[in-house]
């Protein structure tokens, strides 16, 4: 028995330091990963800042931008244009049928864009406000307070929202909302290219599409740390065609996207 006890003690003396070494190595690896993730997240934050600034520099406000801005030339429709109400917006009732948390976050981004579009056309907006309020309640994310007064989710202060989501450990959901709103904006543009594309000049067409590329690349870079974002990356893949350097290319790429963007949009809520 003494020999067995001594063997067990000896084994423990070998195993315990080994476990500690493995634990230390794991802790160092996790710390290194955390620092790398923090760097990538800050890099993405800068890219989102650039995206927001580029969208704000459109020579005409397109009416479907959900970012807050200080001074922007407002894009207005003529009375005749307002008569042609869009029939391609999401029904606000879509909020009633969502169960998955990721889908609810994506719906916030998409319905926020549709809310602003409905306003542009002088359409009733109460149903959209109610749908966004319901989703906000269901999600119960403290970061939504950064979206606007009293937590309104139709106007996004990008940097404040981003910081709040990072602080609450939900940074991945920030990207879900940003990506979903971008898809909805592109979808609406493909439906009304003659109306919205004239809001761009060559510089803004290049800037905006370039920023989309940077954000998409940043999302792909985060996948090793947030594997759940792989599905978002796959959904966004058709948007990678957006790399215009002038308005002519932007129009051509939107035409190319028109046959695919509806499928992308549908997949976001499946």
Quote the CA–CA distance of 128 and 169 in Å, as a whole number.
28
Q: Which residues pair with 156 in a beta bridge?
A: 67
Contact 136, 97 (CB under 8 A): no
Task: Please give the distance of CA 155 from its chain centroid, rounded to a whole number.
Answer: 14
Burial (0-12, 13-18, 19+ Cβ within 10 Å), 236: buried
Q: Is the pLDDT of residue 20 over 60?
A: no
Reference 269, options 109, 103, 151, 128; nearest CA is 103
Secondary structure percentages of the chain, helix, strand, coil, to 5: 75, 0, 25
**pLDDT of amino acid 69:** 53
Q: What is the mean pLDDT of residues 49-71?
A: 51
Least confident stretch, 43-47, 139-143, 169-173, 258-262: 43-47
**pLDDT of amino acid 163:** 78
Q: What is the mean pLDDT of residues 100-110?
A: 94
Residue 72 binned pLDDT confidence (cut-offs 50, 70, 90): very low
Q: pLDDT digits over 177-218, tens only? A: 888 988 898 899 899 998 888 878 888 788 778 777 777 777
**pLDDT of amino acid 53:** 58
- Pull the structure tokens for residue 217: 């690349």
Q: Phi first, then psi: give them for residue 156, nearest 5 degrees.
A: -110, 120
Residue 64 binned pLDDT confidence (cut-offs 50, 70, 90): low
Domain segments of the chain as ranges: 40-268
């Amino acid at each position: 028995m003494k020999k067995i006890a001594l063997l067990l003690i000896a084994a423990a003396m070998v195993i315990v330091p080994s476990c500690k070494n493995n634990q230390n190595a794991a802790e160092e690896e996790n710390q290194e990963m955390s620092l790398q993730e923090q760097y990538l997240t800050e890099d993405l934050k800068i890219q989102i800042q650039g995206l927001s600034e580029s969208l704000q520099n459109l020579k005409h406000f397109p009416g479907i931008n959900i970012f807050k801005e200080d001074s922007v030339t407002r894009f207005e429709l003529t009375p005749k244009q307002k008569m042609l109400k869009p029939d391609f917006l999401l029904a606000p009732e879509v909020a009633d049928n969502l169960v998955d948390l990721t889908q609810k976050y994506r719906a916030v981004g998409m319905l926020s864009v549709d809310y602003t579009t409905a306003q542009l056309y002088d359409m009733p907006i109460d149903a959209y406000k109610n749908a966004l309020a319901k989703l906000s309640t269901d999600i119960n994310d403290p970061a939504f307070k950064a979206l606007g007064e009293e937590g309104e989710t139709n106007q996004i202060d990008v940097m404040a929202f981003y910081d709040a989501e990072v602080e609450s450990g939900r940074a991945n959901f920030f990207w879900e909302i940003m990506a979903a709103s971008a898809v909805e904006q592109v979808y609406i543009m493909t439906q009304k290219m003659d109306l919205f594309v004239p809001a761009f000049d060559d510089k803004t067409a290049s800037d905006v599409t370039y920023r989309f590329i940077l954000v998409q690349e940043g999302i792909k870079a985060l996948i090793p740390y947030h594997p759940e974002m792989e599905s978002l990356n796959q959904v966004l893949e058709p948007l990678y065609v957006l790399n215009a350097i002038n308005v002519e290319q932007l129009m051509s790429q939107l035409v190319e996207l028109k046959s695919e963007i509806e499928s992308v949009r549908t997949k976001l809520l499946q």
